[in-house]
Structure 1
């Protein structure tokens, strides 16, 4: 399983990177209902920061973003669950399939790589900002050298005052 295929299934919801229950079920090669049943039987392993159920509004928005067809015959009857990085890793302990270790490794590597990329982008942005600041300071100094401030000129000659 490639990092790209895992990364393409990670969405940002409620400010957290999450994966849909149906995507994880496909990766773990189990039915979505079996995955959700395993989670409900082990609910204590999935606190709110590991997994949560989407609201109707969140689900509608997500469907429109990733072009999931509307539920119809044989479609979803319940709102999906999403799993954070920790929740998706916890799944391997409750599913216990042969494939779970491979999927677990792929998910860990993908989330780690995403953090590295984000850190790199932040570092580059900080360096560009520092560079821009230094360029601005140099430009201001060069401008002062090329265009020194003009002091007021004194008039030369005799000034006549009538008393």
Structure 2
């Protein structure tokens, strides 16, 4: 098993965002972490619905794509530890 260095852990923590009191990572950041294409992450989510709850996975996409999103400010705050 690979052990992550302190720098790698810091880099991962910097990719975690807090949105409406939920900690989230973007699909592109997960893809970089796992060394795969972004579309592979999205395929995994689509093909394994029991492992990825719709509420958790699609919350950000729904907020950003909705009509209301253009009328409100969605504040993305990087999580600080």
TM class by smaller structure: 0.5 to 0.7
Give CA-to-partner distance per residue, 1:10-31, whole Å, 9 cap, x none.
Answer: 0001211111111000110111
| Regions of 4+ moved over 3 Å | 60-63
**Among candidates 1, 7, 13, match of residue 7 of structure 1:** 13
Unaligned runs of 5+ in 1: 67-113, 118-163
Listed as ranges, the matches of 1:10-159 within 5 Å are 10-48=16-54, 50-54=56-60, 55-56=63-64, 57=69, 61=74
Shift of the 51–35 alpha-carbon distance from structure 1 to 2, 3 Å rule, reads same
- Once the two structures are TM-superposed, the CA of residue 61 in structure 1 deviates from its matched residue by 4.5
Q: Which has the higher contact order (CA 8 A, sep 6+)?
A: 2
Give the Cα separation in 2 of the matches to 1:61 and 1:14: 9
- TM-score for the superposition, normalised by structure 1: 0.34
Give the Cα separation in 1 of the matches to 2:50 and 2:17: 24
Unaligned runs of 5+ in 2: none
| Corresponding residue pairs, total | 66
The structure with the greater share of residues assigned to helix is 1
- TM-score for the superposition, normalised by structure 2: 0.63
- Tell me how large the CA RMSD over aligned residues is: 3.0
SS in 1 for 2:18: strand
